[in-house]
Chains A and B, each alone.
Chain A
């Protein structure tokens, strides 16, 4: 083989590697959107309630202010003191303004959760608080769980972790959505975090139906799903493993008992090794 052939092969290999990288990136982006897509109905519901309140309050505020203006003008014409009804209207308006503030904060927190997951800082490793990522992701998952699934968090004191926050958010969301789908009727999800030496350990348990023993060896394989068509792509856990193991140099394992539930253990190194960062 001439050195020219070798050079051509190397160039071809490089091109294929780049193509693979692009495909992988597209796949991650698609999964990111599909995980959020599955929550859309719940998110719409959670946003509609505060918007309904704000719209209604705004209308009441406009009417009340018109009424107040008329009352004050009437009092001025009659050179009377402040009308007693005015104080009542002002009290109502203050009450509604307080409700509007709560309603806006609710919408803001959902939008913040969405930002953590989609887009965000991109693919850079940054120092981030894993508890905060879990909290933001749970805000979205709760839209889906709502009254059906109770969430309990037991967050330990964690050091900041070198990670890609929106990728970790994607992994957590995949597991939360799976947990929600595994629970039929009422159930519970427990999220626990703790420091384990050089790692941060996140345990997510659900009281769902569990994973059948025959399915266990395959759950991280891409394309494997037991969900009905339209509910799962079979990529969620495969991508989650790629993000945790391949990208962050961590570990992802699970334990499951049929009829009792499943626990996923995710261990993320506090400072990833350089070569793992690059792989």
Chain B
């Protein structure tokens, strides 16, 4: 377990992180899921088809989405933009063999990319990115739930206050 996972005890009670990987090359998916299954206990879900991946994202909370760039139906940037609409707090990673600066800049600006990784990738570096991406997502989610709790507490205080005022008037 990494340092960060120990620090945020709230995360420990949550289920294992879910990582979605999308690449039209079956071989990339096989290699990545074999590696991640060996090294982590993440729930790794892979897709060669972007529409199936989007359908999954509509139904299940996902911590990290890793996507290829060049794919037949839509490119990785378009796909990640749709993933962002479905789950804004999910961390997005682009894994690409297309060494093109323009697409990297576009990806970072358009879809708020967490990281841009070039193929051939380094497993250890990729794992570090995915771990950090998970932490980021979980922090965002716990921040959101804290904000919600605060809002609720605030609303409760308000109603208590108005009850008090009514009792004394």
Residues of A within 8 A of B (CB): 41, 44-46, 48-53, 55-57, 59-60, 63-64, 92, 95-96, 99, 102-103, 146-147
Q: List 28 A-B contacts (CB under 8 A).
A: A41-B99, A44-B97, A44-B99, A45-B70, A45-B97, A45-B98, A46-B97, A48-B118, A48-B119, A51-B120, A52-B28, A52-B97, A53-B25, A53-B30, A53-B31, A55-B120, A55-B123, A56-B31, A57-B31, A59-B123, A60-B35, A92-B38, A96-B31, A96-B34, A99-B31, A147-B24, A147-B71, A147-B72
- B34 in contact with A49 (CB, 8 Å): no
- A56 in contact with B123 (CB, 8 Å): yes
How far, in whole Å, are A50 and B23 apart by their CA atoms in the complex?
Answer: 13
B53 at the interface (CB under 8 A from A): no
- B97 in contact with A53 (CB, 8 Å): no
How far, in whole Å, are A63 and B36 apart by their CA atoms in the complex?
Answer: 12
How far, in whole Å, are A50 and B30 apart by their CA atoms in the complex?
Answer: 12
How far, in whole Å, are A138 and B153 apart by their CA atoms in the complex?
Answer: 66
With contacts A52-B97, A96-B34 taken as known, whether A147 is within 8 angstroms of B27 at the C-beta atoms is: no
Among B25, B32, B37, B39, the most chain A Cβ lie within 10 Å of the Cβ of B25
How far, in whole Å, are A99 and B30 apart by their CA atoms in the complex?
Answer: 8
B56 at the interface (CB under 8 A from A): no
- A92 in contact with B34 (CB, 8 Å): yes
- On chain B, the number of residues with a Cβ less than 8 Å from chain A's Cβ atoms is 24
How far, in whole Å, are A85 and B137 apart by their CA atoms in the complex?
Answer: 33
- A95 in contact with B38 (CB, 8 Å): no
With contacts A49-B28, A99-B30 taken as known, whether A60 is within 8 angstroms of B120 at the C-beta atoms is: no
How far, in whole Å, are A82 and B53 apart by their CA atoms in the complex?
Answer: 39
A50 — which chain B residues lie within 8 A by C-beta? 27
Q: Which of B19-60 contact A (CB under 8 A)?
A: 24-25, 27-28, 30-32, 34-35, 37-39
- A48 in contact with B123 (CB, 8 Å): no
How far, in whole Å, are A95 and B35 apart by their CA atoms in the complex?
Answer: 12
B8 — which chain A residues lie within 8 A by C-beta? none
Q: Shortest CB–CB separation between residue B130 and chain A, in angstroms?
A: 13
How far, in whole Å, are A63 and B38 apart by their CA atoms in the complex?
Answer: 8
How far, in whole Å, are A108 and B81 apart by their CA atoms in the complex?
Answer: 36
**Of the residues A56, A92, A146, contact of B70 by C-beta under 8 Å:** A146
- B97 in contact with A49 (CB, 8 Å): yes
A57 — which chain B residues lie within 8 A by C-beta? 31, 34
